[in-house]
Amino acid sequence: MLHLRTFQLGAHARETQQLLNEISQARVCLLKADSKAAYDEKPHGHLYLGVSGRNNRYEHYRGLLDELTILDREITANEVEAMYREIARTR
């Protein structure tokens, strides 16, 4: 997560926020018993984060995540920045 946050304010801010939102949505789904049970019943293969379709071509996040935080709500760019600063301050 820390690596992902390094892109929050740069040229890839939109994509970074989208990825953070997708992670947040996954957490909401998987941490509620009823929605997790429904998710578990469905056949599925891989979980893709940061998928975007451009020009009929799909692009996926390529890289490493050193930290992952799953939240139960969507967060704002300001909240992401505050979380990043707090983690950076404590390291």
pLDDT 10s digits, 9-63: 888 888 888 888 888 888 888 888 888 888 777 766 666 666 655 555 666 667 7
* pLDDT value of position 9: 82
* pLDDT value of position 91: 74
Give dist(CA 37, CA 18) in Å, integer: 25
Give dist(CA 33, CA 52) in Å, integer: 28
* pLDDT value of position 43: 66
Alpha carbons within 13 A on the beta-carbon side of 11: 0
Helical (H) or strand (E) element with 63: none
Entry pTM: 0.40
Q: Residues 83-87: what's their mean pLDDT?
A: 87
Assess contact for 69 and 83: CB atoms under 8 A: yes
* pLDDT value of position 57: 61
* pLDDT value of position 1: 59
Give dist(CA 86, CA 28) in Å, integer: 23
